[in-house]
Structure formats: C-alpha cells, structure tokens
Amino acid sequence: MAGLVVAGGMGIVAVPYLFSGPATPGPLLWYLTRATAFAAYVTLTAAVALGMLRVVARRAGERLSWVVDELHQFISTLALLLVLAHLLSIFLDPFIPFTAANLLLPLDEPYRPLAVRLGVFAFYALVLVLASSWLRRRLRYGTWRALHYLGFVAFALATAHGVLAGSDAGEPWMRGMYVGAGSAIAFLTLARLLAGTPRAGGERIAQMSSRR
C-alpha cells in the first residue's frame, strides 16, 4: 500500500520528465527533493523510535499486539521508498547533474561530497536492515539482530547528512526537527539501557516473535 502511494506519486512526477527529454532547471524538483528528504527522515526516525519502544516494552514484561510489529515494518519500508523517491528527484533535477553512479556509490559527488557520501552510507545501512528483516527466516537470530543495529547507524548518518547537505538545515523548523529527532532517540536509548537485560525467557519470546 505504502509502495503504491509513493510509487504512484513519483510516477506522476517522473513520467513527464522521462518522456520529454532533458529537463530544464526549475523549482519543482528541488521542492520535491527536499520534501521527500524531510518525509524520509521523519519516517526513518519514527521507525527507529518504534523499534526501541518495542524493546523497552518487552523488557518491562508488556505483551505487545502484532499491530506494533506490522507498523514498525510498514514505517521502515515507507522510509526506504521515500529515500528512493528522494534519489529519483535528485536524478531528474538537472540543476546539479547527479548520475546513477553518484547516487548509489560514494564517489565523485558533484555537490558537498562528504555530506552526500554520508547519505549514501545511510542508504546502504537502511537497505541492509530491511533486506535482513525480509530474509530473517533464513538468517541466524544473532546475525539478524546484529544487522538490525544498523538502523541506529542509518539514523546517525542520515542526521549528519541532512545537517551538512540540506539547503534548509539553517531554518529554525528544520533545526527543530533534527533536535527533536536526536533528543527522542537519545531518550529512548537511555530508557532502553535502563530497561536492562531481557527477563527470563524474554530473549526466547523475542526470537520466536521475530520469526513469525
């Protein structure tokens, strides 16, 4: 469903560009790049926060509805789709000529190279987290869990990327978003550390539920 909405929206924007030859620079794609960046960042933050809340609740002995798991997966997938929309918009915008290789490899970036490379690494981390979750029935629990920690790496890299690459990074509302997201994840990290180790049998329950 999320895929259909994002793919449909991007299709409406992309198809005219793909069939009308090289685009002329205009503000539409620039707005779209920033809008998808903002939406991807908020969604990524929500996915990481929900994942942490889930662990804190489990460690406190709460029984969680399957809806929480579904929502966590849905939001994480939506984050990836929005990042792909962010990349498509940058690719179509002729103002700064990004090639497909620039978008997918951390090499020869035509704009703020360090900042953009951080975005590429954030993208890799996000892809690994999602791919390992889709394949988790084939992975050992420890491997899946280790790869899942890359969600934090994706969040940290995306934050640094947004602050250093974004045209809106200096705007008060954008700064507020980075501070709000960083504070929420820092608070949940503390709550998670204070929640301690899983209760007896908790790890087993978590393993079973992660294999559902």
What are the residues binding ligand HEM (CB under 6 A)?
33-34, 37-38, 40-41, 44, 83, 86-87, 90, 98, 102-103, 111, 116, 119-120, 122-123, 126, 154, 158, 161-162, 165-169, 174
Please classify residue 128 by burial: count the beta carbons closer than 10 Å to its beta carbon, then call 0-12 exposed, 13-18 middle and 19+ buried.
middle
Smaller CB distance to ligand HEM: residue 14 or 116? 116
CB of 80 to ligand HEM, least distance (A): 8
Q: Cβ(195)–Cβ(56) under 8 Å? A: yes
CB of 58 to ligand HEM, least distance (A): 26
Task: Give the C-alpha separation, 81 to 175, whole Å.
Answer: 24
Task: Give the C-alpha separation, 115 to 161, whole Å.
Answer: 5
Burial string for 61-99 (b: 16+ CB within 10 Å, else e) reads eeeeeeebbeebbbbbbbbbbbbbbbbbbbbbbeeeebe
Smaller CB distance to ligand HEM: residue 59 or 174? 174
Q: Which residue is nearest to ligand HEM (CB)?
A: 166
CB of 135 to ligand HEM, least distance (A): 20
CB of 20 to ligand HEM, least distance (A): 23
